[in-house]
A and B are shown apart, each in its own frame.
Chain A
Amino acid sequence: DIQMTQSPSSLSASLGDRVTITCRASQSIDTNLNWYQQKPGKAPELLIYAASTLQTGAPSRFSGSGSGTEFTLTISSLQREDLATYYCQQSYSTLITFGQGTRLDIK
């Protein structure tokens, strides 16, 4: 199975901060990488697909980059509603795997 490792596992940032979350794959997955946002008590929502394409309706302060084994999710200016856990997911392999999640708190 392809292992997905996110860092950090949790972080606390202030409103307006630029936030970056990293996701690493145990082997190359090209750009078969998606990001999901899960707000407390809610189902996950697709945020970014194919490493860098913003899902329709997602705020433009979110962006994604990377290919191969290293990927990043960036929030350009943190807003209160961004309080959530963020997951990366690879769809390169037929056995889908997620990262362990990054919990984002607001200071």
Chain B
Amino acid sequence: EVQLVESGGGLVKPGGSLRLSCAASGFTFSSYSMNWVRQAPGKGLEWISYISKSGSVKDADSVKGRFVISRDNDKNELFLQMNSLRAEDTATYYCVREILVGTPIWAFDIWGQGTMVTVSS
């Protein structure tokens, strides 16, 4: 079964750091680009970070310079290092697989169950 399982969420104080992990299984992880998408409580979806198969990255302006996406293709894991956390970073964070569905059109076809991050003093 194709699966993504996030971990590492929790309560952290403003200015603190947290590292999220995502374990992939059931597919060849190294063959896919991956993303992090977050959702604040009661709000919509916000894409925040992308990493290609080979490790090139893109970030949304809202997290640029504070969050770092990375991957370990040998261990089938995706990571999100979150630094200088703010109250507005409070959200459920989803690990998401990206697939090519057209030329060139991409979509997010597999989502993890999410891990909750709360930034509060």
Contacts and interface: CB of A to CB of B under 8 A. Distances in A.
Nearest to B103: A50
Contacts of A50: 101-102, 105, 107
Contacts of B60: 95
B45 interface: yes
Nearest to A44: B111
Interface of A: 31-32, 34, 36, 38, 43-46, 49-50, 53, 55, 87, 89, 91, 94-101
Interface size class of B (residues with CB under 8 A): 20 to 34
Nearest to B45: A98
Interface string B29-68: 0000001000000001111001000000010100000000
Interface of B: 35, 44-47, 50, 58, 60, 94, 101-102, 105-109, 111-114
Given A32-B105, A46-B107, A49-B101, A94 B45 contact: no
A37 to B, nearest CB: 11
A49 B102 contact: yes
Contacts, number: 59
A35 to B, nearest CB: 9
Contact of A43 (B35, B58, B102, B111): B111
A100 B106 CA distance: 20
A43 B101 contact: no
Contacts of A91: 105-107
14 contacts: A34-B107, A44-B45, A44-B108, A46-B107, A46-B108, A49-B102, A49-B105, A50-B101, A87-B45, A89-B108, A91-B107, A96-B47, A98-B47, A99-B44
Given A31-B102, A43-B112, A43-B113, A97 B107 contact: no
Contacts of B46: 98
A50 B102 CA distance: 7
B107 A100 contact: no
Given A31-B102, A49-B102, A55 B109 contact: yes
